[in-house]
Amino acid sequence: MRIPGAVGLVTGGASGLGEGTARLIVERGGKVGILDLPSSQGRALAAELGENAVFVPADVSDEGQVEKAVAQVADRFGRIDVCVNAAGISPAARVLSRKGELHSLDTFRRTVEINLVGTFDVLRHAVAAMSRNEPGVDGERGLIVNVASVAALEGQAGQAAYSASKGGIVALTLPLARDLAHWGIRVMTVCPGIMDTAMLAGTDAKRRAALVDLNVFPKRLGRPADFAQLVASFMENELINGEVVRLDAATRL
């Protein structure tokens, strides 16, 4: 898949990993639909990126909003070639706190609804649009890139809801690739490590230094540009399919 001329749909596209990906696609000659909450900076980002970007406000946990948003991007640019699912939340709570308080079932349910169900809902509408694309030389019509986390594999205390939701995304990878092979649509999952995004907002310098120290090399936090470059590699290398890739500087939680 060539990036120039490609159309991307990026959830959580107004900040963090999603924003980095949206910027890269446009900078390399593609077009992008930025799907994020109405309260996000999506409108300002789309205005900054220009005519090759559009903001489509939507909550990925709302089925009706998702369907309309994906259709809006496909209508605006005539197709969808790559869908990057970066929207998500990361609440922290122990199943039973040290004070004896139970983990909120509503919090667990909402985390799975946004991170896992929302991802699946977006991608199923995106692949319907991709299926209408003219196939490339080898029959390729599109690419799905889902965002999980190293917490899907090495979840820490307080990450039961988050790890369960991201573990579901990891488990989806190969079945999705097999389901969609008929249509020439590839599926990849990324497990980012410790990334310098809004999820670390408010973290003090001592804690940030401790997080950096977990990385084997390089000794820095991951950046949205690192993630975006990986997505670009997936787009350009057609043989990459059905795999889960860690982006974590060899950290192990």
Residue 213: inside a domain: yes
Residue 2: inside a domain: no
Give me the pLDDT at residue 202, please: 66
Return all residues near 175 (Cβ < 8 A) that are at least 6 apart. Answer: none
Residue 63: inside a domain: yes
| Residues 83-103 pLDDT 10s | 999 999 999 999 999 999 999
Provide the residue range defining the domain that includes 198. 7-242
| Residues 194-246 pLDDT 10s | 998 877 766 778 888 888 898 999 999 999 999 999 999 999 999 999 999 99
Residue 251: inside a domain: no
Give me the pLDDT at residue 160, please: 97
Do 36 and 27 meet the contact criterion of CB atoms below 8 Å apart?
A: no
Task: For residue 12, give the nearest of 119, 151, 109, 92 by alpha carbon.
Answer: 119
Do 147 and 162 meet the contact criterion of CB atoms below 8 Å apart?
A: no
Give me the pLDDT at residue 162, please: 97
| Residues 117-149 pLDDT 10s | 999 999 999 999 999 999 999 999 999 999 999
Give me the pLDDT at residue 210, please: 85
User: What Rg value do the Cα atoms of the chain yield, rounded?
Assistant: 18
Q: Whole-model pTM?
A: 0.96
Q: Rounded to 5 degrees, what angle do the CA atoms 126, 51, 146 make?
A: 30
Do 95 and 103 meet the contact criterion of CB atoms below 8 Å apart?
A: yes
Return all residues near 122 (Cβ < 8 A) that are at least 6 apart. Answer: 9, 11, 35, 60, 66, 70, 83, 85, 87
237 alpha carbon, distance to own chain's centre: 19
Give me the pLDDT at residue 82, please: 98
Q: What is the dihedral of CA 96, 160, 214, 19, to 10 degrees?
A: -130
Residue 248: inside a domain: no
| Residues 15-55 pLDDT 10s | 999 999 999 999 999 999 999 999 999 999 999 999 999 99
Q: Encoding tokens for residue 218?
A: 């390089």
Give me the pLDDT at residue 133, please: 98
| Residues 150-207 pLDDT 10s | 999 999 999 999 999 999 999 999 999 999 999 999 999 999 999 988 777 667 788 8
Give me the pLDDT at residue 197, please: 82
Known catalytic membership, residue 221: no
Bridge partner residues of 82 (DSSP): 8, 143
Residue 247: inside a domain: no
Residue 1: inside a domain: no
Q: CATH number of the domain at 109, please.
A: 3.40.50.720
With b for 16 or more beta-carbon neighbours within 10 A and e for fewer, the 101-113 pattern comes to eebeeeebebbbb
Residue 250: inside a domain: no
Annotated catalytic residue: which of 55, 77, 108, 162?
162
Cβ neighbourhood burial of 123 (10 Å; 0-12, 13-18, 19+): buried
Give me the pLDDT at residue 76, please: 98
Give me the pLDDT at residue 155, please: 93
**How many folded domains does the chain comprise?**
1
Q: Encoding tokens for residue 187?
A: 């599926």
